[in-house]
Amino acid sequence: MHDDRSLVEARLRRVLDERIRPAVYPESVPLDVAVWHAPDEPVPVAEGLAAETEPIEVGARWGAPWGTSWFRVTGTVPEAWAGRTVEAILDLGFDENMPGFQCEGLVYRPDGTPVKGLNPRNQWVRIGAPVEGGEEVRLHIEAASNPVILDYHPFLPTQLGDKETAGSEPQYTLTRMDLAVLDETVWQLVIDLEVLGELMAELPVESARRWEILRAVERSLDAVDLQDVGGTAAEARARLAGVLATPAAPSAHRISAVGHAHIDSAWLWPLRETVRKVARTTSNMTALLDDEPDFIFAMSQAQQWAWVKEHRPEVWARVKKAVADGRFVPAGGMWVESDTNMPGSEAMARQFVHGKRFFLDEFGIENDEAWLPDTFGFAAGLPQIIKAAGSKYLLTQKISWSRTNKFPHHTFTWEGIDGTRIFTHFPPVDTYNCSMKGSEIAHAARNFKDKGVARHSLAPTGWGDGGGGTTREMVAKAARLRDLEGSATVAWETPADFFAKAEAEYPNPPVWVGELYLELHRATLTSQARTKQGNRRSEHLLREAELWAATAAVRTGFPYPYEDLDRIWKTVLLHQFHDILPGSSIAWVHREARRTYERLAEELNRIIDAAQRALAGEGSTPLVFNAAPHARAGVPAGGAAAPTTKGRTTLAARPDGGHVLDNGLLRIEVDAQGLVVSAYDSQADRETIAPGRAANLLQLHPDFPNMWDAWDVDEFYRNTVTDLTDADEVVPGADGVSVRIVRSFGASRVTQVLSLAPGERRLVVDTEVDWHETEKFLKLAFPLDVHAERYASETQFGHFHRPTHTNTSWEAAKFEACNHRFVHLEEPGWGVAIVNDSTYGHDVTRTVRTDGDGGTTTTVRVSLLRAPRFPDPETDQGVHRFRHAMVPGAAIGDAVCEGWRINLPERWLTGAGEVAPLVSVDRDAVVITAVKLADDGSGDVVVRLHEAHGGRVRAKLTAGFEVAAAAVTDLLERPQADASEPQRDGATIALRLRPFELVTLRLKRA
C-alpha cells in the first residue's frame, strides 16, 4: 500500500478546522449587550448587578488595565429552536493561546447566583438542553480586563504591572455575544477525531495500530458531507466506533488524571484579582462536576479556599456540597503553595499547621500529600516537616524544568537532613496544565523513568491561573482514553487514590538524599530584596511576639493574642507564595507587600512591647530582653537581665592607610580603600583572609539572562565583573570605634559601617545601598583562607552541606544557592561563618593559589541586589539596608548562634528585675524555635525544638512553671500515637535527639 499518511493527516486538519468545528454551533442569533464600567476597584456583586448600563456593540473596545466591567446580555431563544440544546457564546475578546493570562469573566443570573467562569477555552454558558423556545435570557458578566503582561514576545518591560502606572487604554475588543444551537453529535465527532488524530501522530509509523486508525479516520471523513456536517456526523462517528473500542494493552502505562487549576496566589496580577480568579474557577469546576459523574477535581492552598468562603458564599455552598460528595478534593495541606527554600523553620511548619487545620475544621479532611507542582526547588529540611505535619507524600512538577541535568526518577523516596523519608512523585507528563492531548499522554508514558517496576503516574489536568480549570473537552478526551489501544490508560482519581496505588506497586523505590535543587530560577533568591527582608523580619517578630506573650500570659495573666497572631501568621504565610517571596511578581504585588510588612511590624512590635512591659514590671533596672535561643552577654535565652560586657574595642590608624579594629580576640585591618585585608584570629593565631585578597569587596556583574528576568541568573554573568574598590570616604564611624566607608558607582551609592563589638568574635558589616542600576547584580565577597571541600548552609531545622567543587554537572549547576541565617566553612578545628539578617542567595567557589603558599582560597559571596526589568521594571530601585557578619574561628555551633543573634537584636527596657525564661534547655546544640500557647486556647505551653549541630545530643528542657503532663505532638499540637510520654522529673524533661531531629512538646500547666 502506498504511504498516504501525510495526505490523510492534512485532510483531517483542514476538515476539522474549516468544516467540522464551525458546525458545532450551526445556528446563532446575537444577544443585546450593555455595560457598566466600575470606576475603580471591583465592587460587590449586588452593586454590579444593579448598576446603570449603556449599550455596547460587538467590535467595541472595552476595559482599562485592571478594570472591571459589568456586561448585561439579554435575548430570546427562537421558537424554531424548540427541542434543541442552546448555549450562550460569550467571547470578551479572548486569545485562546493565553488561558489564564488575560481578560476573564464570571457569569451571574439576575438574582446574583454564579453560573460559571468565562475563559479563553471556556466561552459557553448552557441555556437549556433541550429548550422549549421563547425563553427569555438575561445574564450578567463580571468581566476583569487584566492586561497581558507576558505576551508573545515575553519578558519585555511594561508599565502595565501596576494600576498606578498602567494607564487607561482599553485592552480588549468585544468579539461575540450570541445565542447558539449546540450540535452535540458534531461536538462528539470533534472529540473523536482529535483523540484519534493525536494518538495516531504519537504511534510508530511501522505500528499496525497507527494505520488502522488512519484508515478509520479516512472512512469517517468520507462520510462527512461538508455542506451538511450535522446531518452526516452520526455516520462519521459510527465509522470510528471500532477503533475507539479496542482496549489498551495490559502493560499500558496508567495515568491518574486529577482535575486541577494551578492558580498562582499572586503573580502577573495582584492578590485581589486572585480572589476573583479562584471564584471563577471554582464556579466552573462545581458546574462541571454536576455534568460529569466521573470527574474529580482537586484544589490546593487553604488560603484560596478561605477566600471563596469569605468573598463568594454562594460559590462556597456549592464547593462544600461537592467536597461532601468526595469529588471536590482539598489537596496539599498547606496555606499556600509556598516557596520552600527561603521560609524559615517555623514558617515552613506553620504552612502545614494552618493549611491542614483549615481543611480539618471546614471538612474533617486531613491531607496525606504535600502538593507543590510549581515551587522552585525544595530545601533538604522539608521531608521532616511534611512528616511532622502528619503527611507522607510529596508531588511536584517543577524539577522537570531543570536545564542541566535530568532528574533520574519520577517516583522515588526523598530523604531529608535528619533521615526522614517521603514518598515522592514527579508527574512524567511534565506539565501541571495537562489538557489530555495525545502528545501529553504519550510523553508521560515514554518519559516515565521507572518502567519495569512501576507504571502509575499522575496528570494534573486543567488550565490554571484563571484559565478556568478542567474543560468538558478534557473530560470527554479522558473518557475515550480510559481504555484505548496504543495509549496510556486514563482514569479520574483523587491524589490519595493515586499515591496509595503508586506506593503499593513500588514498595522499595530509589532514594534521593538532600535538597531537590532546581537548575533554573536561581535569581529568585535575590530579586525584590524588600519583600525578602519583610519576610525575614516578620518571621522573627512573630517568634518574639509568641515567646514574650506566652511568657507574660503564664507569669502575669497577660491576654494572649490568639486571633491576632493567627491572622498575622496567615498573612506572612500568604506572602511566602512562590511568586511573592521569590520576587517574581508584578510591581503592584511587591508594592502592596512592602506596606503589609510595615503594618505587620508595627502590630507585632506593639504586642512585644506590651508583653515585655508586663514582664518587666515597674522599676529602673536596665534590662535586655533576649529572644534568641542562646544566652548572650549574661542574658539567658528567652529571658531578660542586665547585660554584662567584657573588654573593649580600639580603633587605630593603619600605617599604610586605613584603620585597625582590635578587641583582643580579632584584629581587623581595613585598608585605605575600605577593604578588609586582614582578619586575624588572636586566639587561634591564624589569618582569616586569603593572602593577597580582600574581604568586604563589593562586586558588580552585568545581569541579563536569556529569559525569565526576575527568576533567572545565567552562569555567564560571572564572565564579567567589576570590583568596586574606589572609595569616596574611609573614616572613623560616629561612635569612634567603627569604620565608615562610602563608595559611588554608576548611579548608585553605598555606605558601609564596619564594627567589632567588645568581647565578640565577629566583624559586623552594615551596608546601605542607594540602588539605581539596571540589569546588574551586586555581590559582597569574602575570600577566606580555608581549605574546604564542602560548606554548610542553614535550612529549616538544621543545615545542609554542598560541595565547593564542580566535579560533576550536578555540582556545577549549583552556582547560586540558598542559605538562611548562615553559611559555614571549616577545616578541622577552625572555621568561618558568614551570617546575615535578610539575604538568601550566595555562591561559594574555591581556587588553589599558584603563587606563595599554594593554599586554597574559598570565597563566599552573598547576593545583595539585582535590577531585572520584568515583570517589575523598577525592581529594587531605592535605598536598602543589609547586615552581615564574618565570624572567624567559628564552629558550626557558633554559626547557628550568631545567625540567630544577628536576626534578633536586643530590646532594652527598664523594670523591676530579671525575667526568667519560660523554658530553657541545657545544651546549645538544642535550639528552641518556638515557645507559644497552644492554638486550642487551653493554656498549654507548646515548645518546638531541634538538634542544630548535626550530631546526637542528650539534653534537659526545664519549664519555669509547674508541669502537670507533657506530650510529644505533631506540628498541629496533637499527641503522636507512636510517641511515648517523655521522661519527666517535675518540670524537667529529658531529651535524646538524633541529628537535626525536630520535636514538638506540649506542656500542660499544673
Contacts of 142 (CB under 8 A, 6+ apart): 42, 45, 48, 68, 70, 105, 106, 108, 276
Q: What angle do CA 907, 913, 916 make, to 5 degrees?
A: 75
- Exposed e or buried b for every residue in 717-727, given b needs 16+ CB within 10 A? beeeeeebeeb
For residue 430 the three cell numbers come to 511534565
Give the active site residue among 32, 374, 566, 935: 374
Q: Is the peptide bond before 582 cis (omega within 30 degrees of 0)?
A: no
CB within 8 Å of 197: residues ≥ 6 apart:
9, 12, 13, 16, 217, 438
C-alpha cell of 883? 547586615
Within a 10 A sphere around the Cβ of 104, how many other Cβ atoms? 30
- 574: cell is 500568604
Angle between helical axes of 208-223 and 184-202 (0-180°, round to 10): 150
278 membership: H or E segment, kind and range:
helix 271-291
As a whole number of angstroms, the distance between CA 677 and CA 667 comes to: 11
Cα gap 382→515, rounded to integer Å: 9
Q: Cell triple for residue 905? A: 537584636
Per DSSP, the residues of 333-344 read -SSS-B-SSSS-
The span from the CA of 250 to the CA of 869, in Å, is: 52
Distance between start and end Cα atoms, the chain: 90
Alpha-carbon gap, residue 983 to 992, rounded angstroms: 10
- If we measure between CA atoms, which residue out of 553, 531, 522 comes closest to residue 818? 522
CA distance 195 to 197: 6
Per DSSP, the three-state class of 496 is helix
Reduced to 3 states (helix: H, G, I; strand: E, B; else coil), residue 658 is coil
User: CA 587, CA 166: separation in Å to the nearest integer?
Assistant: 11
CB within 8 Å of 928: residues ≥ 6 apart: 629, 637, 638, 919, 921, 943, 944, 945
Can you spell out the DSSP letters for 931-957?
A: EEE-TTSS--EEEEEEE-SSS-EEEEE
C-alpha cell at 282: 471554582
- Which residues touch 521 (CB under 8 Å, ≥6 apart)? 376, 377, 401, 582, 584, 708, 711, 712
Residue type for position 799: H
C-alpha pair distances (Å), 237 with each of 119, 366, 873: 29, 44, 53
36, 682, 784, 830 from 664: Cα distances, Å: 74, 7, 21, 18
Q: Determine the distance from the C-alpha atom of residue 181 to the mean position of all C-alpha atoms in its chain, rounded to a whole number.
A: 43
Beta-carbon-side half-sphere exposure of residue 589 (alpha carbons within 13 Å): 29
Of 849, 851, 799, give the one whose Cα is nearest residue 825: 799
Active site includes 374?
Answer: yes
Half-sphere exposure for 227 (CA within 13 Å, toward CB): 0
Strand partners, 384: none
Amino acid at 790: R
Residues marked as catalytic: 374
